[in-house]
Amino acid sequence: MLNLVSILIGLFAGLFALVGVIPFPLVPLLNWIAFPIALVGAVIGMLSSSNSGRNLNLLVLVISGLRLFLTGGLI
């Protein structure tokens, strides 16, 4: 059950992260929303017996974190 919740959180955060990759003004700020949501999903995924939800959230964390890191967190 926790794995399913983690996957749903990961999909929700992934939507924000994928839209946040678009280099249009103020749209990349969505990564600031996606990062903590994916972090919560990764923690819930760690409590689960399966790894797929955790891995999905870690992938979203890497995508949004890398985007924030490369642009200084602003653009």
Give the tens place of pLDDT for each residue, 44-70: 999 999 999 999 999 999 999 998 898
The domain ranges of the chain are: 27-74
Cα(14)–Cα(22) distance, integer angstroms: 13
75 pLDDT band (50/70/90 cuts)? low
Q: pTM of the entire structure?
A: 0.89
Whole-number Cα distances in Å, 20 to 30, 53, 65, 74: 5, 21, 11, 11
Q: How far apart are the first and last CA of the chain?
A: 37
Whether the predicted pLDDT of 74 surpasses 80? no
Residue-wise pLDDT tens digits, 6-24: 999 999 999 999 998 887 8
pLDDT of residue 59: 96
